[in-house]
Structure 1
């Protein structure tokens, strides 16, 4: 069984027991969260989409918060003596998918 969820403006395919990094969610570590479900595929191969998944839930637990790898942003204009370099580290939340109820 797997499901497609939406969080942080992105969509993810998840299964029970999976650990997943998503955009930062402001919840303390160890708390439970229910994620918006877009689609569910059962073990027998049936697929539920749209109004069929209104009551479906994907329950996850917040494992930890952190920062991703540093990305270097470098801007340069030739012949104008313009250079700008800075870094960025995106915040993330690590979730463990506990169960899919559909």
Structure 2
């Protein structure tokens, strides 16, 4: 059984027990959260697709940790004008474990 969920403006295909990294959520480590933006659910033989979301479906997950991703370098310059800007960025994330997919 799997579900397609949306969080942080991105879509993820998840199954029970999966560990995924999503955009930072306002939840403490160890807390259980419910993701109610479920776009599709499949149980092997049939597929339910929402328009755009399924009203009676939700996914429960546990927050494992918060962190920052790898550093990327943003470098802007204009040739022959002595204009250079170097900036680093680390995107914050939340790591969650999918506990169950509920379809009532």
TM-score using structure 1 length: 0.94
Structure 1 runs of 4+ aligned residues shifted over 3 Å read none
In structure 2, the gaps of 5 or more residues are none
CA displacement 1:4-36 (0-9 Å, x = unmatched) = 000001110001000000000011001111112
RMSD of equivalent CA atoms: 1.2
User: What is the Cα deviation at residue 54 of structure 1?
Assistant: 1.1
User: What is the Cα deviation at residue 57 of structure 1?
Assistant: 1.1
> Which runs of structure 2 are paired with 1:9-88 in the superposition (5 Å)?
9-35=9-35, 36-43=37-44, 45-50=45-50, 53-88=54-89
| Range 47-56 or range 34-43, more displaced | 47-56
TM-score using structure 2 length: 0.93
Task: Please give the alpha-carbon distance, in whole angstroms, between the structure 2 residues aligned to 1:53 and 1:77.
Answer: 49
**Aligned residue pair count:** 101
In structure 1, the gaps of 5 or more residues are none
